[in-house]
Amino acid sequence: MILLNKRKDVKYYSVDVLTEDFEKVKFVSTSTVYNVDYLQRKSIPIFVREADLPKVMYICSRSEFIKESFPSNKVSSRVCSKIKQ
């Protein structure tokens, strides 16, 4: 997965792998939260068990904020990409 940050107010993202019903699928990656600067692209390796591959429908990224610097007017967003089967 290639993650592109187009939000100036966000530096951190998490990743999820989901079924068509948006249920989480277990996966392995190099980190749980990724630091991606504004307009930077980052390649994120995602590994799913072969038995779970037929269930995978979406890979989603969610913007994350550091707790100490999280103003109440910020909105966390989730963007999902559908996997080609």
Taking only the tens place, the pLDDT of each residue in 2-58 is 999 999 989 999 999 999 999 999 999 999 999 999 999 999 999 999 999 999 999
Minimum mean pLDDT among 66-70, 73-77, 79-83: which range? 66-70
Give the residue-averaged pLDDT of 56-80: 82
pTM of the shown model: 0.85
Domains of the chain from N-terminus onward: 2-82 (2.60.40.10)
Give the closest residue to 60 by CA, choosing from 3, 21, 12, 7.
Answer: 3
DSSP reduced 3-state for 20: coil
